[in-house]
Every structure is written in structure tokens, then in C-alpha cells.
Structure 1
Amino acid sequence: MAGEEINSCFTCISCIIFLFTFLTTGVGIISTGKSSCFLILEIPLIAIALTVMVLSLTVTICSCIGLRKPRFLACAACIWCLLIPLSSTYSIMSIYQAVITIKGKGIELPDRAYNEYQLHAYSKNLRKLVTNSHNWGKVHKCLIRTNACKRLTHNKANDTFMEFATKELSPIESGCCKPSYFCNFTYVTPTNWSVTFNGSNKNPDCHLWSNDPGTFCYNCQSCKAGTLQVFKAKWNNIFKLSL
């Protein structure tokens, strides 16, 4: 009887671990939709999460079968030895992720319906995810491949300046698909701007902007900030759901 109670306890705990991991990562992956580029920043955590989910599910199955075939209990015990340290690592990484995404938000503009995003507004540890050239290179390619600016280049291509200024933009659209508000460029279309410079403008993003669809502001600090805003918003919602 004691053995069955211990087995039931292990089964219950492994189910809880599976459910927690699924809610914090599985749901996040499923709900990303067209914003999937930011998942590139989470590959290590996702890899651990998927491993934890597979192991916890395997422990549950082996424990259930073990009631009739005891040799499966030994298999469950071995997997359990791997599951505990991995699930602990995942929990620590998840908490760390929640902490570093507390800081940072968009800047409200006086004459625009959308926000502006600046990289320095986010925590140092969160910024490291996009200032890493290897990580950003992958995100950059993903944004171009998925045509992140499609809504502005197609659906809103004929908007007047007033129509453009009074409509909301996603963090990616605001940061990657147009020049910074503070560059003071002249509007032509949402993704086509007349570039003018003055000596007082110290914003490096102004020099990185291009009307070329393959360039736009994908290498701008604002684009990295917009990506972090999507990252922050998605994972904060997931953490709230898991709690």
C-alpha cells in the first residue's frame, strides 16, 4: 500500500510539472502566431521546457503501467532523477525571465496614436538578448522572411499622414518598419520617408533607416526595442496565466 501511495505521489507531481511547463511555454509557443520571431531569443528555455514535458509525461505513463508491471517503476525512477534537476533549472530560468521583463515600455508621443520604443528603457540583462549579434542576426532574418512590415507596405500603403499618425502600430511596426519619430523625416508613405539630417540629431537609428524593403529599420535600436516589447508582453501574459 505504501508503495502505491508513493507511486501516486510521483505521478501527481510529474503531472503538475507537465501542466506548469505546458502553461508557461507550450501555450506561449502556440499563441505566438505571426510574432514567432521573438521565440529565437528563447531557444535554450524552450529546449529545456520540451525536455521536461517529455520526461514528466514519460514518468506519468511509466508510473501508471508500473502498478501492473513493476519493472516500469524502475524506469520511472531513473527518469525522475533527470526530471528533478531539469525542472528546477527551468523554474529558475522562468523566474529570472519574469524578473528581467518587469522594466521597459513604449514611449507615448504627443501627436501619434502609436508608441515609440527605445532600447535603453529595458533592463540590461534583457537587452543582452538582442545586442548579441548571433541572436539578432537570426531575428533580423526572421523579420525579413516573415515580411514583418507587410501591413504597412500593403494594407496601409496609401494612407495619408493624418491617417498614419492616428492609427496604432505594433511594437515591431513602430520600431522596425518606419524611422524614429525623433528623426523628423518627412512622410511620404508609411514605409517611404524623405530623409533629412541636421547636425543636432544624435540618434544613430536615423542613419540606419532605408526605404529599401530589405533594410527599413531592421538594424535599428528601435527595432530591437520593439522586439523586446513583444517578447516582454507575450511572456508576462504567459506567466500571469500560469499563476
Structure 2
Amino acid sequence: MANHASNNIISILNLIALLSSLPIIGCGIWLASKPDNSCVHLFRWPVLLLGILILLVSLTGFVGAFWNKQGLLAFHLFCMALLIVLLLILLVFAFVVTQRDGSYVVPGRGYKEYRIKGFSSWIRDHVTDKGNWGQIRSCLAENDACRKLSRDNYVTADQFFLAHISPLQSGCCKPPTVCGYTFVNPTVWVNPVNPTSDRDCYLWNNEQSQLCYGCDSCKAGVLGNLRKEWRKANVFLIVAVVVLIFVYVIGCSAYKNAQTEELFERYKQGWV
């Protein structure tokens, strides 16, 4: 009877773990659906994959507890410990590589602009180097971020300048403010007579397939978007991992009690 009670506790705990996997899966789907993550494949799937694995392992533990399969429960605990460690590593890693912020305030603007040197060297090297950026640039040109910006109803320059646009849109869909371009619409700008020496000012092109996708400001905007999204996701992931650790510790204790009770029952029956 006591063993049955321990298994019931483990079943309830696995149900909680299963429910805790849903925010992780939700964060993974949300991150994967973002334009920057859809182009930067390195960051697209880890959270979603971990969430699905935690869901499957929780189901394994639930089945093991329901049918009193101690071997399956032991496998479940081992796999869950491994997944929790991997999730913690991912959280720490994401926090470290997104700690530095390359944004800066532009007077008279509702949005920020971004410098690529303001971000961590790891994320710069793995996202914006020449080997990766060509594919990312082509992907960004095909997605809807800049087209969506051009469809928004910004009639005057002042309306646009006070808008709260995303880091990606700030860096890729318009020229940097320092260039002195004149606003026509969010993705069409008139070239100044005397542009500054900033390299990005000469790379801007009103052709919708080019815009500022070759600019350092675009690379910085993508990194700013990644940072912003992962910072939001980390809040939900931290709550989920705290719940999982709590459930895991109680689950280990219940599993140990079940094993002890089973040995005691066998001893009473003369099996040991």
C-alpha cells in the first residue's frame, strides 16, 4: 500500500513536470517563429527540442509510476536529471552571450539604434561572420519584417521617428540616423548631399531586396533582436527549471522510499 502511495506521488509529480514542459515548448515555438531566429538557425531549435524531450520523459515517468515499473522510473530520473542540466547550461549560456547590449539612444527617436561592437564576441563571431551572414542576409531579405514596416501607416517623418520598432527593423530596414538621409517612407530615404564617412551610409539602397541588409547596423539589429527575445524567454525558462528541479528532488525521494518499501515488503515475506 505504501509503495502504491509513493507511485501515486511520482505520478502527480510527473504530471506537474509535464505541465512545466509546456511553457518551454511555447517559448521554443515563439523563438522559432521570430524572423531573426528563423534565419539564425543556431538559435532556433534548442529550447523547443528540450521542451519536447522533457514532455516525453515526463510521460515515461508517469507510465512507470502508474504501472509500477521501477526500471522505467530509474530511466526516467536519469534522463530528467540530464535534461535539467542541459536546460541549466542553455540558460547560463544564453544569459552570458546576451549580457552585453549594443543599443544606444538616438535623441528625438522612439527607437534605439545598435552598434555591433556592443555585443559579446561569441555571438558576433557565430552570427555575423562572413560564412554565416550571407545566408542570414538572404533570409532576412525574404521575410516580412521590413515589408511590414513599410505597410504601417507612417505618413510623416515625425510619426515614424517616434515609433517603437524592433531592433531588426531599426538596423536593417532604414539607414542609420547619423547618415542624415531624408524620410520618404520607412523603407525609402533620400540620399543626403554630404553623407558621413560611416560605411553603412554608402551601403544603404532603396531597392527593397537590399535596404541595409549589408550594413553593420543590420547585423547589430539582428543581435539586438536575439538578445531581446532570449531575455524574455529566459524569464519563463527560469520559472520552469525551478519547478522541474523541485519536482525532481521530491520525485527522487519518493522513488527511494518506494524502493525501500519494496525491499521491506520482500523481507517480511521471506524473499530476502
Matches within 5 A, 1:193-232: 193-196=189-192, 201=197, 203-232=198-227
The equivalent residue for 1:171 is: 167
Distance 1:185-1:51 versus aligned 2 partners, 3 A rule: same
The equivalent residue for 1:237 is: 232
Matches within 5 A, 1:154-193: 154-156=151-153, 159-193=155-189
Q: Give the gaps of 5 or more residues in structure 1.
A: none
CA contact (8 A) 1:180 1:222 kept: yes
For 1:52-85, what per-residue CA distance to the aligned partner results, in whole angstroms no more than 9, with x for missing partners?
Answer: 3244223233223323xx3xx4234335434432
TM-score (norm 1): 0.78
CA contact (8 A) 1:18 1:52 kept: no
Could you say which structure has the greater relative contact order, defined with CA pairs below 8 angstroms and 6 or more residues apart? 2
When Rg is computed on C-alpha atoms for both structures, the one with the higher figure is 2
What is the CA distance between 1:11 and its match in structure 2?
Answer: 5.0
The equivalent residue for 1:111 is: 108
The equivalent residue for 2:28 is: 29
**Number of aligned positions between the proteins:** 236
The equivalent residue for 1:42 is: 43
- Helix, strand or coil at the partner of 1:216: coil
* C-alpha distance in 2 between matches for 1:36 and 1:216: 16
* C-alpha distance in 1 between matches for 2:3 and 2:12: 14
Percent sequence identity over aligned pairs: 26
What is the CA distance between 1:149 and its match in structure 2?
Answer: 0.9
What is the CA distance between 1:2 and its match in structure 2?
Answer: 6.9
For 1:141-188, what per-residue CA distance to the aligned partner results, in whole angstroms no more than 9, with x for missing partners?
Answer: 4433322112332224x6222332233322121111001111222333
CA contact (8 A) 1:179 1:206 kept: yes
CA contact (8 A) 1:17 1:87 kept: no
CA contact (8 A) 1:45 1:90 kept: no
**2:146 maps to 1:145:** no
1:87 to 84, 87, 111: 84
Q: Give the gaps of 5 or more residues in structure 2.
A: 240-272
